[in-house]
Amino acid sequence: MYKKTTLKNGLRVITIPIKNTKSVTVSILVGTGSKYEKKDISGISHFLEHMFFKGTKKRPNTLKISETLDRIGGEYNAFTSKEITGFWAKVDKKNTDIALDWISDMFLNSKFEEEEIQREKGVIVEELNMYLDTPTAYVSELFEDLLYKDQPAGWRIVGEKENILSFNREKILDYFKNHYSTKNTVVCIAGDVNVKQIQGKINKYFGKVKTSHLPEKVPTKEEQSNPEVLVHYKKTDQTHFCLGVRTYNMFDSRRYALGLMAIILGGNMSSRLFISVRERNGLAYYVHTSVDATTDTGYLVTQAGIKNDSLEKAVELVLSEYKDLRDKKITAKELKKAKDYLRGTMALSLDATDAQASFFAMQEVTEQNILTPEEKLKIIDKVTVSDINKIAKDIFSPEKLNLAVIGPIEEKESDKLKQILKL
């Protein structure tokens, strides 16, 4: 399925040969993100991600960067999360060398010019404004703000406006020097490639990545003894909420059973909450349950957009399903359906080279351990009805409940909402 090697400079390389595919994806993942930031530079990981697309000596500006792959119909992008910053390019396999040259040039030779930094501030402020104007995205940020408060896990990945406007070349270079190293970087290539040939090419392009000492990430503190509510007033035609509980980090073996539980609750159109909230009561167009797990945090959350006058009823319906899952065992039929659903969605999601690259490289950069899809499915197959029940009893308790809301609701309603957060 894959081959992992380590270059002389310590850089980890994952090669995933996939026969009979027409595309090749080259990706670089770096183990840094907003959780590695201090308060005065919150948002700098994301800002730095943008700056890699502003020019190198070989490709001196954004136009030259972007048209390199536009000319060959390639796809490319980058992202920043709490713990990972990533860059990728997907091209016709005959253009593999172009993709390798392009992504390595950006990663190793970006100029980070002051003029470009000043110009990009306006772009990122508008990106922030876009998120603030998009309740479906912003309510998720509010939920994490509620969970983690004023510490890196609770800060916005994009940062706050005053920080964004304060960044300069000195700060950008300092963060780059101290957070980008072979020790936390993984290069991955997936597609119809010759493993031996591609290893030599990767060594040619990435052998110059430097090794440096990395700062420690501050562990996230989690403290909660009562249900908590965060209300953000916004004049909208629909009220959006996230209701969830603290759970397990990515190193906890219970996360597999938790993922199946999320599917049963709200993972698809035949899930309990989709039927209850949307089909039976007509309160929402969208309602879904998901899990999030990082190296030191985890949660299960149900998100929905509902009628403005139906928040309490919708919350009570979600809580009812949480309580039912805790107090009554699911059926073997439900568990089998969730496993089959997960097996099918995994197969579909891994049908493309970019998905394969992400699947393997994400594990390596965060866990330093890779499980193949087959190995993960074997673990999932072993989950029992009793495992689901034990987890439900553990996580569905009032002191772990958190509710974040965006809509035309006054903050004074928070106390009233707290009163209905009962299990």
- Taking the C-alpha atoms of residue 27 and residue 48, their distance in angstroms, rounded to an integer, is 17
* Start-to-end C-alpha separation, the chain: 45
**Counting beta carbons within 10 angstroms of the beta carbon of residue 388, is it exposed (0 to 12), middle (13 to 18) or buried (19 or more)?**
buried
Q: What is the pLDDT of residues 44-63, one digit of tens each?
A: 999 999 999 999 999 999 99
Helices (H) and strands (E) in the chain, counts: 16, 11
3-class SS string, 312-323: HHHHHHHHHHHH
pTM, two decimals, is 0.95
What is the mean pLDDT of each successive set of 10 residues along the chain, which is 423 residues long?
Answer: 92 95 97 97 98 97 98 98 98 97 97 98 98 96 97 97 98 97 96 91 89 90 96 96 98 98 98 98 97 97 96 98 97 98 97 97 96 97 98 97 96 91 93
- Contact status, residue 366 vs residue 295, Cβ threshold 8 Å: yes
384 beta partners? none
Q: What is the pLDDT of residues 199-223, one digit of tens each?
A: 899 999 998 888 888 988 999 999 9
DSSP string computed for 92-120: EGGGHHHHHHHHHHHHHHB---HHHHHHH
Q: Are 52 and 87 in contact (CB under 8 A)?
A: yes
Residues 205, 191: Cα–Cα separation, whole Å = 18
Characterize 264-277 residue by residue with b for buried, 16 or more Cβ atoms within 10 angstroms of its Cβ, and e for exposed.
Answer: bbbbeeebbbbebb
pLDDT at 406: 97
pLDDT of the residue at 328: 96
Which residue stretches of 287-372 are H helix? 311-327, 332-349, 353-367
Contact present, 298 and 252 (Cβ < 8 Å): yes
Q: How far apart are CA 72 and CA 61, in angstroms?
A: 18
DSSP-assigned states of every residue in 146-169: HHH-SSGGGS-SS--HHHHHH--H
Q: What is the pLDDT of residue 411?
A: 84
What are the angstrom distances between the C-alpha of 363 and each of 29, 259, 345? 10, 16, 18
Compute the distance between CA of residue 114 and CA of residue 170 in angstroms, rounded to an integer: 9
Domains by residue range for the chain, with CATH: 3-206 (3.30.830.10), 228-420 (3.30.830.10)
Q: What's the token pair of residue 315?
A: 């919350």
> What was the pLDDT predicted at 44?
98
Bridge-based pairing of strands 401-407 and 228-233 is: parallel
Per annotation, catalytic residue among 37, 49, 228, 321: 49
Is there a catalytic annotation at residue 410?
A: no
